């Protein structure tokens, strides 16, 4: 009887030890899994927004200058465009001969078709001839606005804000002056520009891009772009 009792006790102890080891093993795996799971960084979210934007193929943009000096030529722009090939169809508010005017503009194939004040037809020209930015470049998948998302340095999360029914997550950072000047045709190439994005948390669309810096040295100015209508059909043709 004593032998059987001892054997039974030993069996119970063995089962208990096995269960304890299994529990410890499971706890270790959970801990390891938790340790290897990290939250997305601000750079990760910008990469996600870049993919969402370039996958859209077409969007609607509004560009607005803020705190611009009297010497500024391009004040605002609004239109829709495609990314492949880069093209824009909309209206640019600019100073033409010192007079502010709304200029219907089509940009494609590195050409501009503009209807200047008092002109009944579109005139074909180039950004170089007018010494203005190419609005089609804003939509380009490479060297366009989308590229700023992936070249942003020191990206950090900011605050949340509400824009209508959407919740936007702010991400701030800096972008090189070269990229900004190539895109907007104005600014100091030698200095970095501050940039702030507003990303829609539901789908990671980039809704706003706010660029601040030495556009017109020595003073700072701001250009803000609002982007929406992702993927809606857009056709741009020369007039």
Q: What's the confidence (pLDDT) of residue 163? A: 84
Residue 128 domain-assigned (yes or no): yes
| Same domain? 31 vs 136 | no
| Same domain? 18 vs 81 | no
Residue 132 domain-assigned (yes or no): yes
| Same domain? 32 vs 62 | no
Q: What's the confidence (pLDDT) of residue 16? A: 46
Q: 115: domain range?
A: 42-228
Residue 27 domain-assigned (yes or no): yes
Q: How confident is the prediction along the chain (239 residues), in pLDDT tens digits per residue?
A: 444 444 444 444 344 444 444 444 455 555 555 456 799 999 999 999 999 999 999 999 999 999 999 989 999 999 999 999 999 999 999 987 778 999 999 999 999 999 988 888 999 999 999 889 999 999 999 999 999 999 999 999 999 998 888 999 999 999 999 999 999 999 999 999 999 999 999 899 999 999 999 999 999 999 999 999 999 999 999 99
| Same domain? 2 vs 91 | no
| Same domain? 68 vs 135 | yes
pLDDT one-digit tens code per residue, 128-138: 998 899 999 99
CATH number of the domain encompassing residue 166: 2.50.20.20
| Same domain? 6 vs 72 | no
Q: What's the confidence (pLDDT) of residue 33? A: 52
| Same domain? 27 vs 48 | no
Residue 239 domain-assigned (yes or no): no
Residue 156 domain-assigned (yes or no): yes
pLDDT one-digit tens code per residue, 1-30: 444 444 444 444 344 444 444 444 455 555
Residue 154 domain-assigned (yes or no): yes
| Same domain? 98 vs 162 | yes
Q: Which of 182, 173, 200 is nearest to 138 (CA)?
A: 182
Q: What's the confidence (pLDDT) of residue 131? A: 87
Our count of domains for the chain comes to 2
- pTM (2 decimals)? 0.83
| Same domain? 33 vs 66 | no
| Same domain? 155 vs 216 | yes
| Same domain? 17 vs 68 | no
Q: What's the confidence (pLDDT) of residue 5? A: 45
Report long-range pairs for 45-51 (Cβ below 8 Å, ≥24 apart). 45/157, 45/169, 45/171, 45/199, 45/204, 46/149, 46/150, 46/152, 46/155, 46/171, 46/197, 46/199, 47/149, 47/150, 48/204, 49/149, 49/197, 49/199, 49/204, 49/205, 49/206, 50/146, 50/149, 50/150
Residue 236 domain-assigned (yes or no): no
């Amino acid at each position: 009887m004593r032998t059987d009792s001892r054997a039974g006790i030993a069996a119970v102890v063995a089962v208990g030890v096995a269960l304890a080891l299994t529990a410890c093993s499971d706890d270790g795996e959970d801990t390891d899994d938790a340790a290897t799971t990290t939250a997305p960084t601000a750079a990760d979210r910008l990469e996600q927004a870049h993919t969402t934007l370039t996958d859209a193929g077409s969007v609607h943009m509004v560009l607005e200058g803020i705190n611009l000096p009297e010497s500024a030529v391009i004040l605002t722009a609004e239109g829709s465009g495609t990314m492949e090939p880069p093209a824009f169809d909309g209206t640019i508010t600019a100073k033409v001969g010192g007079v502010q005017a709304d200029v219907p503009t089509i940009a494609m194939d590195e050409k501009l078709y503009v209807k200047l004040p008092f002109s009944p037809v579109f005139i074909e020209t180039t950004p170089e001839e007018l010494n203005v930015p190419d609005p089609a470049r804003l939509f380009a998948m490479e060297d366009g606005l989308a590229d700023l998302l992936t070249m942003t340095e020191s990206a950090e999360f900011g605050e949340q804000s509400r824009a209508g029914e959407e919740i936007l997550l702010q991400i701030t950072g800096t972008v090189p002056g070269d990229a900004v000047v190539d895109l907007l045709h104005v600014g100091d190439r030698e200095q970095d520009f501050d940039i702030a994005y507003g990303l829609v948390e539901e789908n990671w669309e980039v809704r706003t891009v706010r660029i601040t810096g030495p556009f017109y040295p020595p003073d700072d100015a701001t250009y803000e772009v609002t982007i929406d209508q992702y993927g809606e059909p857009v056709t741009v043709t020369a007039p």
